[in-house]
C-alpha cells in the first residue's frame, strides 16, 4: 500500500472534503521573528537558519507579485490554501496581517479557499485569533501551524525556543474553540531526547487536542547554533532508521482523524550539514510507507498505553 493509504495526509484530506485537489501555495509575508530580533530572544532557536527554508528574495515581494510570478504553478490546480510559512507569520500589527492575508484570500489569480499560518505559540494574541476566526466565519479554512517541536520544557529551554508547553496548550485550546484548525509541528531527534520524549510529546499533544501534525527529523543546518556543536562532534542528527522507527510509532499512536501535513522533510547542501539522507525528499516517506505497510497504519496503536522503556529527558540527564 502507498503512504496515503496508510496515513491520513493533508492532500487526501483536502481531496476528500473539496472533491478535488487543493494545493498549498507558499507565500512570504516578509515577517521577522521575535526570537531573533530581541523581543523574546536573540539568536533564534538553536536549530534555525531561516535561509534554509525561505527565499529571502521572495520575502520582499508583494503578495500580488508572488502570485503573478507563480501563475504557471497556479494553473496546475483549481483550489489553493495560501501558506505563510517563513519566520513568524503572525508577527506584525494586526492591520498589516489583515491586509496581507486578505490580499491572498481575494487574489483574482487563484481560488484561495483558506490560509495556513505558521507561527510560534507565544505570538498569537487575541487580536490575531479574532482576525483568523473572522475568516472561519466567512467560510474560509484556516490552519494555525504552531511550532511546538517538543512538549518537554527542558528541551524547549535548551534549544532556546523562548516559550513553554503551557502557552502552546493555551493557544491551541483557544484557537480550536474558535473553529481555527491547529497543526502542531514536531521535531524528532532534538539533542538529548530519546524516542520516549517523542512519545511523551505526542501524548501531551493528543491530550490537549490537535487537528494536524507536521513531523520532521532534526536538520542541522549551516548558520545555526547547532551547526557549531555538530562541527565540534558534540551533536548527531538521527539516522534514517532511527527516524523511520520513531515516525512510524508516532503515526500509529495518532488517531486516524488527525491529518498529517508532513511525515518528513527535505533540505539541501550546502545549507544542510546533517543528516544527508534528508536531501532526498522521498526517501524517508518511502521507508515510512514500507514500514507501516508491514506493521500497520495510522491509529493502530491508539488503544495502547504510553509506556516508556527509555528515559525521558529530565534535568539530571542534562550534562551540557
Q: Could you list the residues that contact ligand SF4 (CB under 6 A)?
A: 33, 35-36, 44-45, 48, 50, 87-88, 120, 147
Q: Which is nearer to ligand SF4, 87 or 135 (CB)?
A: 87
- What is the smallest separation between the CB atom of 152 and ligand SF4, expressed in angstroms? 16
Q: Closer to ligand SF4 at the Cβ: 87 or 230?
A: 87
Dihedral sign from CA coordinates of 98, 99, 100, 102: positive
Q: Closer to ligand SF4 at the Cβ: 39 or 286?
A: 39
- 114 contacts 183 by C-beta, under 8 angstroms: no
Tell me, rounded to whole angstroms, the distance of Cα 22 from its chain centroid: 18
For residues 233 and 54, the answer to whether their CB atoms sit within 8 Å is no
Residue 261 CB, nearest approach to ligand SF4 (Å): 16
**Closest distance between ligand SF4 and the C-beta of residue 167, in Å?**
13
Cis peptide before 70 (omega within 30 of 0): no
List C-alpha distances in Å: 96 to 90, 92, 112, 143, 197.
10, 6, 19, 19, 38
Cα 242 from chain centre: 20
Provide the grid cell at 259: 491529518
SS3 call for 98: helix
Residue 15 or 52 with smaller CB distance to ligand SF4: 52
Q: Give me the least distance between CB of 46 and ligand SF4, in Å please.
A: 9
- What are 189's three cell numbers? 531527534
Cα angle 152, 155, 159; round to 5? 140
CA-nearest of 263, 153, 178, 174 to 212 is 263
Q: Of the two residues 163 and 181, which places its CB atom closer to ligand SF4 in the complex?
A: 163
Shortest CB 213 distance to ligand SF4, Å: 17
Q: What's the rounded Cα separation, in Å, for the pair 304 and 172?
A: 25
Find the residue with minimal CB distance to ligand SF4: 44
Round to whole Å and give the CA distance between 303 and 262: 23
Least CB distance from residue 219 to ligand SF4, whole Å? 11
The least CB distance from residue 59 to ligand SF4, in Å, is: 12
Angle (CA) 290-292-296 rounded to 5° is 140
Please choose, from the candidates 221, 201, 196, the residue with its C-alpha nearest in 3D space to the C-alpha of residue 213: 201
Q: Toward ligand SF4, which CB reaches closer, 56 or 207?
A: 56
Pick the closer one to ligand SF4 by CB: 15 or 160: 160
- Looking at the Cβ atoms of 107 and 235, the one nearer to ligand SF4 is 235
**Closest CB 50 distance from ligand SF4, rounded Å:** 5
d(CA 52, CA 264): 15
Amino acid at each position: 500500500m502507498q503512504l496515503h493509504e496508510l496515513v491520513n495526509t493533508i492532500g487526501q484530506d483536502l481531496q476528500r472534503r473539496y472533491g478535488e485537489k487543493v494545493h498549498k501555495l507558499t507565500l512570504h509575508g516578509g515577517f521577522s521573528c521575535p526570537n531573533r530580533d530581541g523581543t523574546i530572544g536573540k539568536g533564534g532557536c538553536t536549530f534555525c537558519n531561516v535561509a534554509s527554508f525561505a527565499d529571502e528574495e521572495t520575502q520582499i515581494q508583494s503578495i500580488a507579485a508572488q502570485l503573478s510570478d507563480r501563475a504557471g504553478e497556479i494553473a496546475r490546480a483549481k483550489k489553493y490554501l495560501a501558506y505563510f510559512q517563513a519566520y513568524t507569520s503572525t508577527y506584525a500589527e494586526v492591520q498589516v496581517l489583515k491586509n496581507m492575508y486578505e490580499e491572498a484570500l481575494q487574489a483574482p489569480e487563484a481560488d484561495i479557499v483558506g490560509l495556513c499560518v505558521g507561527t510560534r505559540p507565544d505570538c498569537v494574541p487575541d487580536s490575531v485569533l479574532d482576525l483568523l476566526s473572522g475568516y472561519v466565519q466567512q467560510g474560509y479554512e484556516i490552519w494555525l501551524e504552531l511550532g511546538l517541536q517538543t512538549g518537554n520544557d527542558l528541551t524547549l529551554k535548551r534549544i532556546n525556543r523562548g516559550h513553554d508547553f503551557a502557552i502552546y496548550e493555551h493557544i491551541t485550546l483557544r484557537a480550536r474553540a474558535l473553529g481555527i484548525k491547529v497543526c502542531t509541528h514536531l521535531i524528532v531527534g532534538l539533542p538529548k531526547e530519546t524516542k520516549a520524549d517523542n512519545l511523551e510529546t505526542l501524548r501531551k499533544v493528543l491530550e490537549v487536542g490537535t487537528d494536524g501534525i507536521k513531523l520532521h527529523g532534526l536538520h542541522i543546518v549551516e548558520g545555526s547554533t547547532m551547526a557549531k556543536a555538530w562541527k565540534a562532534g558534540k551533536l548527531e542528527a538521527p539516522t534514517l532508521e532511527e527516524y523511520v522507527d520513531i515516525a512510524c510509532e508516532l503515526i500509529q499512536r495518532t488517531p486516524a482523524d488527525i491529518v498529517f501535513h508532513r511525515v518528513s522533510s527535505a533540505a539541501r547542501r550546502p545549507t544542510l550539514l546533517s543528516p544527508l539522507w534528508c536531501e532526498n525528499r522521498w526517501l524517508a516517506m518511502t521507508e515510512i510507507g514500507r514500514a507501516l505497510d508491514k506493521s500497520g497504519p495510522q491509529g493502530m496503536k491508539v488503544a495502547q498505553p504510553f509506556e516508556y522503556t527509555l528515559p525521558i529527558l529530565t534535568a539530571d540527564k542534562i550534562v551540557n
